[in-house]
Chains A and B, each alone.
Chain A
Amino acid sequence: MANILVNAPKTAKKGDIIEIKALIMHPMETGFRPGTNGRIIPRNIVEDFSATWNGREIFRMKMSPAIAANPFVSFFTVATGSGTVVLRWSGDGGFVAEHPLAITVT
């Protein structure tokens, strides 16, 4: 199970612009570094990050090897209605992680 830390408000007023910050543990191995035997360590990165609000995509990001290890993302979104925000990461080696957040909008 992926190790994830998220900072998002649990409640918001309709129309508020809220910030969502998320951190996931992942080596983000660039594929450009030589290992101890001189051979290149194979690339292993998170490539796609997306967020949906009640199923509707609110943000998408494509990461490259230039994103730091244990990737951090922050973005904003308008609080439309109560429900679930789902954050999703996917990448090399079939890596997939999801994290749901419940947000109550009044």
Chain B
Amino acid sequence: MTRLRLGLAAAGVFCASLALAQAGDPRRSGYQEMGPALRKMQDDDTANPAMLFVQAGAAAWAGKAGAAGKSCADCHGDAAVSMAGVAARYPAIAPTLNRAVDLDGRINLCRTTHQQAPALASESDDLLALGAFVALQSRGLPIAPPDDPGLAAVRTQGAALYERRQGQLNLSCANCHDDNAGRKLAGATIPQAHPTGYPIYRLEWQSLGSLRRRLRNCIVGMRAEPWDYDAAEYLALEAYLMDRARGMLLDAPGVRP
């Protein structure tokens, strides 16, 4: 598992660089809001539960799939090289579809188009594992949303959703994550909501999960009606949040409460 050995060596370096990079930036990632025990859980690649999914993803990367009988590795080779920086620049416009997709969507596009394999189900272990493995290759890199004019409209839509009050509590995302970040909500520290660690091993789920799943949790928590799982609203929010987190370092796959 050379990827994991690379991860182990990089983890120590990464922690140091995270500390350095954040100096002077008022933005804080959810990692910084966690107590020492959870940060330690994330930092150790052999003890971070998310790495179990990464290990499965590494195996999936190498495995042949679909009618084309190809593996990800057959086209992309060494993920540490070909996937470096990829997770940091999603959501992006998929040229063949001429619309924005998130990383999971891009992985499925590859599967259906190039491997001629069926798309992996949303939130399935298989898709999460591959997504975690790909995201790991961007760990420590700054979030770099593409300057694609096609994304502007999606980001604007996301910003509007972020600011919009909704649900029984009539709260917007901004009410907690902009106005009250750093303060406590029922004993939990409210993070600034920068998606630097996705996909995350959320202790509440006892499993790895996507930003989409986390956003649904937020909306249910606000006592608002969550949109359908494949709704465009989640993508718009993600595009906005990643733009808002531009320059922050990715710490995927993260551990979060």
Q: Which residues of A contact B (CB under 8 A)?
A: 3, 5-7, 21, 23-25, 27-28, 68-70, 72
A69 B206 Cβ-Cβ under 8 A:
yes
Residues of B whose CB lies within 8 Å of any CB of A are 4, 44, 46-47, 49, 51-52, 55-56, 206-207
Chain B facing A: main interface SS: mixed
> Which of A7, A25, A28, A68 is close to B52, meaning CB atoms less than 8 Å apart?
A25
Q: Is the CB of B207 within 8 A of A69?
A: yes
In the assembled complex, the CB of B1 is this many whole angstroms from the nearest CB of chain A, namely 9
B52-A3 in contact (CB<8A)? yes
Please indicate the chain A residues that have their CB under 8 angstroms from the CB of B56 in the complex.
3, 25
* In contact, A70 and B52 (Cβ under 8 angstroms): yes
B46 lies within 8 A of A7 (CB): yes
Query: Most B CB atoms within 10 A — which of A5, A6, A28?
Result: A5
Please give, as numbers and ranges, the residues of chain A lying within 8 Å of B55 by CB-CB distance. Answer: 3, 5
**A6 x B46 contact (CB < 8 A):** yes
> Residues of A contacting B4 with CB < 8 Å?
5
A6–B44 CA distance with the chains assembled, in angstroms:
11
Which residues of B are found within 8 Å of A5, using beta-carbon distances? 4, 46-47, 51-52, 55
Is the beta-carbon distance between B52 and A23 smaller than 8 angstroms? Answer: yes
**Contact residues in B for A3 (Cβ distance below 8 Å):** 52, 55-56
Q: Are B47 and A21 in contact (CB under 8 A)?
A: yes
Contact B46 A21 (CB under 8 A): yes
